[in-house]
Amino acid sequence: MVCDRDREVPAEVIDRLCELATWAPNHKRTWPWRFAAFSGDGRLRLGEACCQDLIDSGSTDEAKLAKVATKYARTPTVLVVGCAADDHPTFHDENRDAVAAGIQNLLLGATAEGLASFWSTAPVLEGARTLELCGFEPGVRIIGMIYLGWSADASLASERPPVAVRHITR
Ligand SMILES: Cc1cc2nc3c(=O)[nH]c(=O)nc-3n(C[C@H](O)[C@H](O)[C@H](O)COP(=O)(O)O)c2cc1C
């Protein structure tokens, strides 16, 4: 994604996008999504927490740790989206589906607002330090680290292979 690194994304815009996420389908209305938005120096604190979780999980890859420490400062905001656990295995799985659908709502909303976005995977999906910094309860899985910034490039998204749809009518 190409974005204007110097232009902040207002908190109201982030709140609106998170509200949009909550309109995703959600079996049993468990409201599984959790959101924490990082900007300013908060992005470096997020990097530090992720590094610590990597170290706690046994990582000794210095190059990776150095990258993770600073990479969240590449865009004005990084939104961490988590998914609550559920005791029931089916609802546990479906919570994740609902959160993923919510993230897609959020990404479409971001595009409509003129924001560039990028969905990436957390270095550690259930890292205790990162969950604590985000204010998420234990057991939450991090589903996405969403980079957000005002788009500085009017180019279209990358192309897709042609879609194959089989229509069976009788
Ligand atoms: C659950 C999920 C996790 C992803 N994690 C990463 C990631 O960690 N790093 C990465 O380069 N792309 C990741 N992607 C892919 C990008 O978000 C993006 O879809 C991909 O680069 C293709 O770009 P395009 O959608 O603009 O064609 C992830 C996508 C999903 C759905």
Per-residue pLDDT, 48: 98
The reply to whether ligand 1 has any atom less than 6 angstroms from the CB of 118 is yes
Structure tokens at 117: 């976005």
Q: List the residue whose alpha carbon is closest to atom 30 of ligand 1.
A: 119
If you measure from the C-alpha of residue 33 to the centroid of ligand 1, how many angstroms do you get, rounded to a whole number?
Answer: 19
15-41 pLDDT, tens digit per residue, is 999 999 999 999 999 999 999 999 999
Kindly write down the DSSP assignment for every residue of 40-53, as one continuous string. TTHHHHHHHHHHHH
- 92-120 mean pLDDT: 97
The reply to whether ligand 1 has any atom less than 6 angstroms from the CB of 121 is yes
Structure tokens at 92: 């546990």
The reply to whether ligand 1 has any atom less than 6 angstroms from the CB of 104 is no
Q: List the residue whose alpha carbon is closest to atom 27 of ligand 1.
A: 158
> Do residues 95 and 84 make contact, with C-beta atoms less than 8 angstroms apart?
yes
Annotation: CATH topology of 11-150: NADH Oxidase (3.40.109)
Residue among 146, 132, 116 nearest 18 (CA): 146
Q: List the residue whose alpha carbon is closest to atom 7 of ligand 1.
A: 120
Q: List the residue whose alpha carbon is closest to atom 9 of ligand 1.
A: 120
First to last CA, the chain: 44
If you measure from the C-alpha of residue 168 to the centroid of ligand 1, how many angstroms do you get, rounded to a whole number?
Answer: 32
56-71 pLDDT, tens digit per residue, is 999 999 999 999 999 9
The pTM for the full model equals 0.95
